Amino acid sequence: MLPYFRRYESHENSVDNNFRGQSGEMTITDLKWRDPLCEAFIRGAESIGIPRNPDYNGAYQEGTSYVQRTSTGKLRMSAARAFLKPARKRRNLRVITNAHATKILLDGKRATGVAYKRGGFSGRSDEVHASREVIISGGTINSPQLLQLSGIGPTNLLNNLGVEVLHNLPGVGENLRDHYGARLTARAKNVDTINELAHGPKLVGEIVKYFLGRRSILELGPTLVYCFWHSDEMIRNADLQISFTPASYDEGKQAKLDREPGFSLAAWQQRPESLGYVRARNKNPFEKPQIQPNYLSHEEDRRVLLAGIKISRRLMNTEALAPYFDYEGYPGAHVQKDDELLDVARQRSTTLYHLMGTCRMATKTDPTAVVDDQLCIHGLQNIRVIDASIMPSMPSANLNAAVMMIAEKGADMILGKPPL
């Protein structure tokens, strides 16, 4: 897979060209922002044995580092900007906007096209017909729902929906996984944080600085530093990801920033074992499907997340952070027992929006399999799924880079090119 990661990216400060690309369409930049709290957090991590890592997307992952971003200058480098915009003038590309796919068209076991509506539920119905293949790239939620409403999925579910079963495939919509983050907040002292800069006259100043090309909080994402580590000394392949940002949120929720100085840490299990599902609620393609992630249903996920909360507390209480650490805001120092911490995690933790796996790639003997190693749907012809839903298990990090790698490799498969 590494050659496909390297092909699409252009990393501005690569320290190892064996792992990072230099000439791809997607620009990857290192965060330039430096902050006293972030520096103290990294020094504190070093003091408990977690080293600095110049590139967590390089030879090894474990350690702390300022985040890498898909951006150029002050603008986000989205996949649409990197890949779609340069291709807009191609004669073989037509982009239809405000269109909602409603059904995959089948002739027996062969996909022939897609039915869709323009303008919403009451809009005009239309069809597009494929001369070669139909490519499903609706994502982890929409791809299985579209397949189910097209008669491709578990027989029992389709019967309950009143959808004619055209191809029984029990794995469609199953195997849903997601990263589930437990957030801790602290009140800060002796330092300015993003909280104060995001309100009132100071926010006006940050807006002015942004448009003048100066450093501003408007160019920041929700996380400034990543820490990859392990939940147990017997585990040497990082199963924990912890984020740090010099900002805090009400009751541990990533929503509205506090007005008082604060900082936050969030921890999650990198390779969760808890499995959920996505299932259409009825025959209406505009109806949101049922999404059941079953967070923390597996014992291993509970163990790792609990370890992550405890390590986050150790990081919060290092000597390096002591000049800036006032007290723990959420869940609060009074919450100490394992069962109490898990209760807090269940109540206030949140999705990291890294959903994957609902059209799982596996051999046809696997009862959860949807696509094969060429991303073709088992038992059907001329149809592939190319998005995060095909992942058989969770990658050890955020999904953005892995999804673009899948797209790169999938494009070569469509064209019949040999693997890199």
Catalytic residue IDs: 354
Nearest to 54 by CA among 11, 1, 10: 11
Q: Which of 283, 290, 335, 286 is nearest to 309 (CA)?
A: 335
Could you give the residue ranges of the DSSP H alpha helices within 99-243? 139-149, 155-161, 194-197, 200-211
How many Å apart are CA 361 and CA 376, to the nearest integer? 9
Written as six digits, the tokens of 307 are: 């370890």
CB 191 within 8 A of CB 259: no
Whole-number Å distance between alpha carbons of 161 and 120: 21
Neighbours of 120 (CB within 10 A): 10
What's the rounded Cα separation, in Å, for the pair 243 and 413?
A: 36
Q: How would you classify the pairing of strands 152-153 and 167-168?
A: parallel
Nearest to 38 by CA among 191, 258, 206, 182: 191
Chain centroid to CA 242: 14
Q: What is the dihedral of CA 16, 17, 23, 27, to 10 degrees?
A: -20
Instruction: Measure the CA–CA gap between 400 and 56, rounded to whole angstroms.
Output: 15
